[in-house]
Amino acid sequence: MRSRVVGSRGGVASAGGSKQGMERFVSTFTNKIDAKGRVSVPAQFRAVLDRDGYRAGDAVGIYCYPSLDAPALDCGGERLVQKVDALLSDLPDYSDERDELSVALYGDSRTLAIDGDGRIVLPEEFRSHAGLSNRATFVGLGDKFQIWQPEQFDERRKRAREKVQEHRKLFGAGRRPDQGGAE
Amino acid sequence: MRSRVVGSRGGVASAGGSKQGMERFVSTFTNKIDAKGRVSVPAQFRAVLDRDGYRAGDAVGIYCYPSLDAPALDCGGERLVQKVDALLSDLPDYSDERDELSVALYGDSRTLAIDGDGRIVLPEEFRSHAGLSNRATFVGLGDKFQIWQPEQFDERRKRAREKVQEHRKLFGAGRRPDQGGAE
DNA sequence: TAAATACCCATGTCATCCCATAGTTGCCCG
DNA sequence: CGGGCAACTATGGGATGACATGGGTATTTA
């Protein structure tokens, strides 16, 4: 029974880690944004951050920046930070590309603190970039997760699904055509 | 947490493992979905998951997502997860393909926990994708299994049989002519 | 001081856990 | 050879607890 971490209400099972899916951000959840701009981070994601978390002192935080090519926010922990670093370090110093990416990935990024109840506050700039009003959809993408305006994500999901269909035909060529699945 | 081990109701044959077919998901079963959306995972499948299971700590879970090309759910354990990961890790970060596949394979998927009685709960989104109402058919497919609405699966099975027949004729007939498929 | 932010507590809903029952299968022993 | 016991599976229902959410109070910042 996953005793809540001492003192903090929203803390997730630092103890045993009994829950499933602690490795990656998986599945999607839609939560409410309240009048103060707060929104609960899904408990499953908090559990992942508990391991992967971007720590500042003793509190767990979320590394977050506006997605480069979508009206959404990219969020994650230590693993995401390292990927960003790796991406940038591959580009030559003093190149325009690098400068621009640096601005986008570092300059516009923020570290959001998770409060005792497992919630974060979304800054105004972030909300406008993602077009968020009063609900937020958290989408697990493995090493990171994204925050979307629900309706916009529905469309995105639809498109993604269609694209995947096409790709499957490429990958899958050797498979039995009537047996579904990504195996 | 959930130590229900020996003597537990849902626990699977901790005994000898004398059962056959512990490696792969085979055969089909149809179980009831109760008012809470719960359904028993067939004991034989649990036995497979007992080895292959998607584990987090001491609990066994099922990795599950809507089939890409059928009104059904793809489910499996560690083996399935690794196939998905392998598929994704071949794609470069921040590429369109990867983003789309991530959405479909991570965003739409969930890890379903198996409770002490050997049951899972099917989320609403999953039930609607597969058209499930109050019964679910579990279909073993080797490394993974699928969950279908019984009637829809019957039709699919029929079609599959017909196709197999055709293929047999093409390959020709090394087979005994009087024997139907023994499966 | 006013406003914004962080902290704390309260509550309702829903998921999870736990127990009970019934029908089956297989095994042991009479 | 047959009866009956024991283990297991599937299923139903109740109770407990986690989580999302709302609101209040302290603390900081401009």
pLDDT one-digit tens code per residue, B3-33: 333 334 444 443 333 344 468 999 999 999 9
pLDDT at B114: 94
Q: What is the pTM of this model?
A: 0.84
In total, the C-beta contacts within 8 angstroms joining chain A to chain B are 122
**B155 touching A (Cβ < 8 Å):** no
The answer to whether B102 contacts A27, with C-beta atoms less than 8 Å apart, is no
Task: Using a 7 A cutoff on CB, list residues near strand D.
Answer: A 1-4, 10, 12, 19, 29, 31-32, 34-36, 39-43, 117-119; B 7, 9-15, 29, 31-32, 34-36, 39-43, 46, 117-119
Mean pLDDT of A25-36: 95
What's the N-to-C CA distance of chain A in angstroms?
35
DSSP 3-state of A101: helix
pLDDT digits (tens, 9 = 90+) for A84-112: 998 888 888 888 888 888 888 888 899 99
What the block records as the tokens of A117 is 């109840």
Collect all residues of chain B within an 8 Å Cβ-Cβ radius of residue A23. Answer: 56
pLDDT at B172: 63
pLDDT digits (tens, 9 = 90+) for A48-64: 999 888 876 667 889 99
Mean pLDDT of A127-133: 94
Calpha distance A35→A33 (Å, rounded): 7
| Mean confidence (pLDDT) of chain B | 81
B139 Cβ partners below 8 Å, 6+ apart?
Answer: B28, B72, B145, B146, B147, B148, B153
Collect all residues of chain B within an 8 Å Cβ-Cβ radius of residue A174. Answer: none
How many other C-beta atoms lie within 10 A of the C-beta of residue A71? 16
**Is residue B140 over pLDDT 90?**
yes
Range from A13-27, A57-71, A82-96, B84-98 carrying the lowest mean pLDDT: A13-27
The answer to whether B58 contacts A18, with C-beta atoms less than 8 Å apart, is yes
Top pLDDT among A22 and A4 is at: A22
